[in-house]
Amino acid sequence: MPAPLTLDHLRRYAITRSLFKPTTLPRAIAKLGFVQVDPIRAPARAQDLTLRHRVTGYRAGDLEARYSRLAIEEDFFVNYGILPRATQRLMHPRTARVEWSSSRWTQAQAVLEFVQSRGAAHPREVDAAFQHGTTKNWFGGNTKASTQLLDGMHYRGLLRVARRDSGIRVYAPQLAHEQDAPVDPDAALDALVDVVVAKYAPLPAATLGRLVMALGSAAPQWRDERRAALSRTKARLPQATVEGCRWFWPADENPASRRFASDAVLDDQLRLLAPFDPIVWDRQRFEQFWGWAYRFEAYTPAPKRVRGYYALPMLWRGQVIGWANAAVRNGRLQLQPGYVTGRAPRDAAFKSAMLEERDRMEQFLGV
């Protein structure tokens, strides 16, 4: 009779399946299923910090530089990010929850024709051509109305992101593709849920429910079908109750199997993870696994921050033992670490591991 599944099994499973052997950029994106994008660079953007552990020889900016040559798309999923084109198409044609007025559609049609005539357009080119003025953004400040219109056209599938110039999205007409048959909402939602589960497994039941509900923004045309999709998911996925919590994972995996018992990522290599890395993304699971609460504090007023503006969780020997804030000053990377216990491990291997991680990050940053 197999031994009962434990939290240690789940913790090891979460690390080993996510920190797979580094591979090529297209394969890493396919294995991850989705890479969350964030504009803050401290010392690099979250997508680059996530990919550096999973792509051989990865350097900051490689995703942006190679984006236009890969079969991937920027779009809103459960968060905004990069995903394989085949997955992105499952969410379209997308019907936005808020219908535009006829005048707004007229503006959008004019912009679409402008972009089509140029092949691709930077937001400043659209703004110069149409002079839409400014409008209020989600944060109460002012933003260019052209930027907001382009965002809305992208969300509705009228435009796609062709590339980025210095971090700014450059838009192009949507790629033409044939729809062989009408989309089956149940099949599409199940496929999207499988992407979520494969990215963040093992998932506590509460997180699974929250992510399935988040698909209401990814595919608002199927908002009413989400609860049925969640019921189907809970019925078809393997699951177990461990320490009072129900956990779910992909159908072809077993957290207790020898496949996930490797010590390859539980060794003496120290890894600084992005705040949105799949290993640390679920804050509930993080606290269950490692016994302390991690919070992303970039938008927290400085006097109220506990760990720093952009603290990177520190994974060592299968445990997240602390964090580090990183910054490049005078051409050198500086790390300011903090530890859950209040001090660094006394193990002689730890100091070497920290120096080696700093060297790897300097190579990644090109400093």
**For residue 25, is it within any domain?**
no
Contact (Cβ atoms closer than 8 angstroms) between residue 298 and residue 310: yes
Calpha distance 339→324 (Å, rounded): 9
Phi, then psi, of 132 in degrees rounded to 5: -75, -15
Calpha distance 49→276 (Å, rounded): 9
Q: Which of 139, 173, 207 is the last residue of a domain?
A: 173
What local confidence, expressed as pLDDT, does residue 135 receive?
56
**For residue 115, is it within any domain?**
yes
Q: Which of 123, 157, 173 is the last residue of a domain?
A: 173
Contact (Cβ atoms closer than 8 angstroms) between residue 74 and residue 169: yes
**For residue 246, is it within any domain?**
no
The answer to which of 23-27, 78-82, 254-258, 356-360 has the lowest mean pLDDT is: 254-258
**For residue 75, is it within any domain?**
no
Instruction: Using pLDDT thresholds of 50, 70 and 90, give the confidence band for residue 140.
Output: low
Calpha distance 118→100 (Å, rounded): 25
**For residue 236, is it within any domain?**
no
Per-residue model confidence as pLDDT tens digits over 28-70:
999 999 999 999 999 999 999 999 999 999 999 999 999 999 9
The domain that holds 161 is classified in CATH as 1.10.10.10
% of the chain exceeding 70 in pLDDT: 93
Q: How many structural domains comprise the chain? A: 2
Per-residue model confidence as pLDDT tens digits over 166-176:
889 999 999 87
Residue 362 pLDDT greater than 60, yes or no: yes
Q: Is the dihedral of CA 244, 289, 312, 31 positive or negative?
A: negative
Domain ranges, residue 134: 102-173
Residue of higher predicted confidence among 264 and 85: 85
Please state the rounded mean pLDDT for residues 238-263.
90
Q: Which of 137, 158, 173 is the last residue of a domain?
A: 173
Buried b (16+ CB within 10 A) or exposed e, 63-88: bbeebeeeebbbbbbbbebbbbeebb
SS3 140: coil
Give kind and range of the element (H or E) at residue 47.
helix 46-51
**For residue 257, is it within any domain?**
no
Instruction: Using pLDDT thresholds of 50, 70 and 90, give the confidence band for residue 326.
Output: very high
The CA-atom distances, in angstroms, between 129 and each of 107, 125, 185 are 12, 6, 39
Contact (Cβ atoms closer than 8 angstroms) between residue 73 and residue 125: no
Calpha distance 215→3 (Å, rounded): 36
Per-residue model confidence as pLDDT tens digits over 212-248:
999 999 999 999 999 999 999 999 999 999 999 999 9
Calpha distance 180→160 (Å, rounded): 21
Q: Residue 251: count other Cβ atoms within 10 Å of its Cβ.
A: 11
What local confidence, expressed as pLDDT, does residue 1 receive?
47
**For residue 134, is it within any domain?**
yes
Residue 132 pLDDT greater than 80, yes or no: no
**For residue 191, is it within any domain?**
no
Contact (Cβ atoms closer than 8 angstroms) between residue 236 and residue 193: no
Q: Is 332 left (phi over 0), alpha (psi -120 to 50) or beta?
A: beta
